[in-house]
Chain A
Amino acid sequence: MNARSGPFAGIADALAQVGACGLFGLQVLAALPASLRHWRESVRQIWFTGAMSLVIIMTCGLFVGMVLGLQLYYVLSIFGGTAALGTVVSLSLYRELGPVVTALLFAGRAGTSITAEIGLMRATDQLDAMEMMAVDPIAYVAAPRFLAGIIAMPLLACVFNALGIFGAHLVGVSWLGLDNGTFWSNMTSSVDVWKDVVNGVWKSVAFGAVVALIAVFQGYTTAPTSEGVAHATTRTVVFSSIVVLAIDFVMTAFLM
């Protein structure tokens, strides 16, 4: 770090971070073929990042769906359009809330633990030890977690969406007395597999890649102290939230 100060130092630092993260991403991509040899490690990471996030994703999905059900029922009833509840809930989940909220939760749950784990490996020389044993830590540590993020995120988003629709159904049909058939028929007639469901999946693939990359990068470049690990964990959440929302805007503009 140079000792410059002033308003531009912060911007320069941020730019340097973005650039370093991008270069690191290229390194990870280059190491992906090599990391396929460690496929067991990727499977283990899918367990840690994906399956371990299931509980929070499912709970939050259910509540988000229930809240959407209540709020939208109220808004739609003003226009006498409560029949559209299923449509509106499923479209907002597939297109936006599912991928975005899942990505934010994933950053908080899995991203932080990836950063902390790799940060601790850095602090206790485990990454250096791998290099010394002629094992490329990018292929063995970084790439499997990156891959796991890309695989786990869309699956988590789908689970989130399914629970969200279940929650909205619970509120709309079971509590507020909307007709079950109307709920589903409106949904099925206006939701398109490719434009809504699959585009949402693409979004969450991109989010998975970005969150996992940021988490791995922050862990990999941690200052090897306990303070450094704490800072890196915070940065993972902050940066991935910002980047996910920014990418969401760009992808929405291009995909929809």
Chain B
Amino acid sequence: MRVRGLRTVLGRKTIFDGVDVDIPRGKVTAIMGPSGCGKTTMLRHITGQRMPDAGRIEIDGANVPTLSRQALFDLREKIGYLFQNSALLTDYDVFENVAFPLRQHLRLPEDVLRNIVLTKLEAVGLRGAAALMPAELSGGMARRVALARAIIRDPMLILYDEPFVGLDPIALNQVLRMIRTLNDTLGVTSVLVAHEFSAVARVADLVYLLAGGKVVAQGTPEALRKDPSPWTRQFFGGEADGPVPFQYPARDYATDLGFSEAAR
């Protein structure tokens, strides 16, 4: 999968300004960056939910922005997407949530469907929770259910949107292990969007760091850890100020407070 010359303008803000990303097959690729740099937007571009203003996004040679609605739907059937807030359907219990993509797209006998769903639930360790409603799940459990739903059709590509947010250390380790296991056993391509470097470093093969609408660093986690660029230093070191400014762009402070000569 390749992204070339991606350019997106949201309102008056330029989110991407010529971003190039290569995502190798069968590897875990992490896209990182400070909040608001467009990580989630990048995933939406990949699934075609949002169209970029310029640039190409190629998945298996097909350019996503030019696909028809039907072709997009066909493509999405081969993509698993894990939402930041899990996005389980509140009307259905866990079993029906996981079964939803199967019921919508395939006509399977009830016992076959049941076996597939229970297998996937077993893989995320929640077979016993099949009858619970989403409202009864903890955040970590909901995310695992959402993961089971994302892999129900054995996708070739799984997109994780902020999979580590709001998880306790146990749930975090469970999710990390599942991402790695899925990738190794099913041979899928994984893209994950996150900003916790320590967690990402344990699972990702390749990391892209986005900031200011550009790719500012890329490489393996080890390489990035040693990277001398100020962007990398600030982000992974967690310094409050740096190339990513603490201050939102504003007028001159003194002018705003009325202390400058012009204001008198």
| Chain B proximity of A138: nearest CB distance (Å) | 11
The answer to the question of A179 belonging to the interface, with a C-beta cut-off of 8 Å to chain B, is no
Among residues of B, the one whose C-beta sits closest to the C-beta of A129 is B87
Contact A135:B104 (CB < 8 A) given known A124-B85, A125-B84, A128-B49? yes
Chain B residues contacting A132 (CB-CB under 8 Å) are: 47, 49, 76, 79, 81, 83
Pair B49/A126 contact, Cβ less than 8 Å: no
The answer to the question of B74 belonging to the interface, with a C-beta cut-off of 8 Å to chain A, is yes
Pair A133/B85 contact, Cβ less than 8 Å: no
B19-58 interface with A by 8 A CB criterion: 47, 49
Partner of A124, one of B74, B90, B101, B104: B90
**In the complex, per-residue mask of A112-156: 1 if CB is within 8 Å of any chain B CB, else 0:** 000000001100111011111111100010000000000000000
**In the complex, per-residue mask of A57-91: 1 if CB is within 8 Å of any chain B CB, else 0:** 00000000000000000000000000000000000
A120 to B85, CA, bound (A): 13
A37 to B132, CA, bound (A): 27
Among residues of A, the one whose C-beta sits closest to the C-beta of B47 is A132
A131 to B73, CA, bound (A): 8
A216 to B85, CA, bound (A): 23
Contact A129:B89 (CB < 8 A) given known A134-B105, A135-B104? yes
Contact A133:B49 (CB < 8 A) given known A125-B85, A128-B87? no
Pair B73/A134 contact, Cβ less than 8 Å: yes
Partner of B87, one of A124, A134, A135: A124
Partner of A131, one of B76, B85, B90, B100: B76
The answer to the question of B154 belonging to the interface, with a C-beta cut-off of 8 Å to chain A, is no
Among residues of B, the one whose C-beta sits closest to the C-beta of A44 is B91
| Chain A proximity of B94: nearest CB distance (Å) | 15
Chain B residues contacting A128 (CB-CB under 8 Å) are: 49, 83, 87
A134 to B80, CA, bound (A): 10
Pair B83/A129 contact, Cβ less than 8 Å: yes
Among residues of B, the one whose C-beta sits closest to the C-beta of A133 is B101
Pair A133/B90 contact, Cβ less than 8 Å: no
Chain B residues contacting A135 (CB-CB under 8 Å) are: 100-101, 104
A129 to B84, CA, bound (A): 11
The answer to the question of B77 belonging to the interface, with a C-beta cut-off of 8 Å to chain A, is yes
A135 to B149, CA, bound (A): 14
Q: Main SS of chain A's interface residues?
A: helix
Chain B, interface residues (CB within 8 Å), range? 20 to 34
Chain A, interface residues (CB within 8 Å), range? 10 to 19
| Chain A proximity of B102: nearest CB distance (Å) | 10
Chain A residues contacting B90 (CB-CB under 8 Å) are: 120-121, 124, 126
Partner of A125, one of B73, B79, B87, B101: B87
A136 to B105, CA, bound (A): 12
Chain A residues contacting B74 (CB-CB under 8 Å) are: 134
Among residues of A, the one whose C-beta sits closest to the C-beta of B77 is A134
Pair B104/A133 contact, Cβ less than 8 Å: yes
| Chain A proximity of B156: nearest CB distance (Å) | 14
Among residues of B, the one whose C-beta sits closest to the C-beta of A40 is B103
Among residues of A, the one whose C-beta sits closest to the C-beta of B159 is A132
Chain B residues contacting A124 (CB-CB under 8 Å) are: 85, 87, 90
A131 to B100, CA, bound (A): 12
A210 to B227, CA, bound (A): 60
| Chain A proximity of B65: nearest CB distance (Å) | 16
Partner of A126, one of B79, B89, B104: B89
Q: Which of A128, A132, A140 has the most chain B CB within a 10 Å cutoff?
A: A132
A125 to B162, CA, bound (A): 14
Among residues of A, the one whose C-beta sits closest to the C-beta of B72 is A134
A153-183 interface with B by 8 A CB criterion: none
Pair A131/B49 contact, Cβ less than 8 Å: yes
Partner of B81, one of A120, A126, A129, A140: A129
A140 to B89, CA, bound (A): 12
A121 to B92, CA, bound (A): 13
A131 to B69, CA, bound (A): 11
Chain A residues contacting B76 (CB-CB under 8 Å) are: 131-134
A171 to B47, CA, bound (A): 64
Chain B residues contacting A121 (CB-CB under 8 Å) are: 89-90
Q: Which of B85, B89, B90, B149 has the most chain A CB within a 10 Å cutoff?
A: B89
Among residues of A, the one whose C-beta sits closest to the C-beta of B49 is A131
- The 11 sampled A-B contact pairs (Cβ below 8 Å) are A124-B90, A125-B87, A126-B89, A129-B83, A131-B47, A131-B49, A132-B81, A133-B76, A134-B74, A135-B104, A136-B73
- A124-B85, A131-B47 are known; give 8 further A-B pairs, CB within 8 A: A124-B87, A126-B89, A129-B89, A131-B49, A133-B77, A134-B77, A135-B101, A140-B104
| Residues of A in contact with B (beta carbons under 8 Å apart) | 120-121, 124-126, 128-136, 140
- Interface pairs A-B: 6 shortest CB-CB: A129-B87, A125-B87, A132-B81, A134-B73, A134-B76, A133-B101
